Amino acid sequence: MQLSGDVIVGVDGSDQSAEAAAWALKELRGSGHALRLVHVITPAHLEIDDEAELTETGRMVLVGLSDRLGDLDSSHPDGASGTEILTEVVVGDAGEELAMRADDAGLLVLGRHGAGRVNSGRIGTVSFGLPGHALSAVLVHTVRNGSEFDDPVEHPSVASGGGTGGIVVGLDTSEYAGVAALDAASLAVGSGRPLRILVGVDALGDREATQARAEADLAWLRDAYPGLEADIEFPSGDPAELLIDASDGADVVVVGKRGRGVFAAMTSQLGRTSSAVLTGAHSSVLLVPYRRDPRLGARSA
């Protein structure tokens, strides 16, 4: 996907966060942006442990992961290596520290759960709460079909993201959905995967008008991304449930942080659909905030 700044990954020493960092590194190749690994020591830990000792432990976690990522980067078959990898250990609330650093980032990447939830299918507290507060796009990474650290020559299915199921995006008439569709198309083209567009007709009313608008949106996306392999579906049902069902065979589900009810939903940081998808999806989830994009004008026209 197109990135406007560095990619930040929250690292807590878990396999989930390491896999998330490896995914982020692959997405960064050729972008010219840096990968920033951030380990946060929470104040609660300082009540029972020495800060210097915790800081050194965190530093060693980041050094070890940085070395693994450097090896992964240099072994890539297309030679697009040399991504700058920066590390930082900070003391504070994990959600607050990562959200603050995400203000100017192109993307914030998190594992689905942290070190305290080994083999858990449930999403962690930080990974659930942070996407609604971060100003950047947030990807909550779920490992699918093997490790992101697999050799891309021996395991080509993981070379761009860990699976072969393609990218899914939920589309409605909102500008949030328009931005999400652009990012989903960029991610699909960049990874060489198909894009599956789901339009929940029940939530949008007039089926004929909805289908006409969606077909126009598909043409708009193909103009923006020549070579895009995409199809569009009009299933019946609750939009969140449709996207969760689609996540079973997907690499990434992309959804706008809010939808058509943006103003009514301002009391919550995520809309109902995006919150439900984040909790229930079986794949990675990319949550996209609104941003000004000149291509949206062509969509409206």
How does pLDDT run along the chain (301 residues), one tens digit per residue?
Answer: 778 899 999 999 988 999 999 999 988 887 889 999 999 988 766 666 678 888 899 999 999 999 999 888 776 655 555 789 999 999 988 889 999 999 889 999 999 876 555 444 566 788 878 888 888 999 999 987 667 776 443 333 333 444 457 999 999 988 889 999 999 999 999 889 999 999 988 877 788 888 999 999 999 999 999 999 999 999 999 999 999 999 999 999 999 987 655 444 443 478 889 999 999 999 999 999 988 899 999 997 7
Long-range pairs, 131-135, Cβ under 8 A, ≥24: 131/257, 131/269, 131/270, 131/274, 131/278, 131/287, 132/257, 132/268, 132/269, 132/270, 132/275, 133/95, 133/99, 133/269, 134/98, 134/99, 134/102, 134/103, 134/108, 135/99, 135/102, 135/103, 135/289
Q: Can you state the angle between helices 51-74 and 15-28, rounded to 10 degrees? A: 40
d(CA 90, CA 80): 31
Q: Residue 93: exposed, middle, or buried by beta-carbon count in 10 A (0-12, 13-18, 19+)?
A: middle
- Evaluate if pTM is beyond 0.85: yes
227: left (phi over 0), alpha (psi -120 to 50) or beta: left
Closest by Cα among 224, 221, 168, 222 to 199: 168
d(CA 12, CA 62): 9
d(CA 119, CA 112): 10
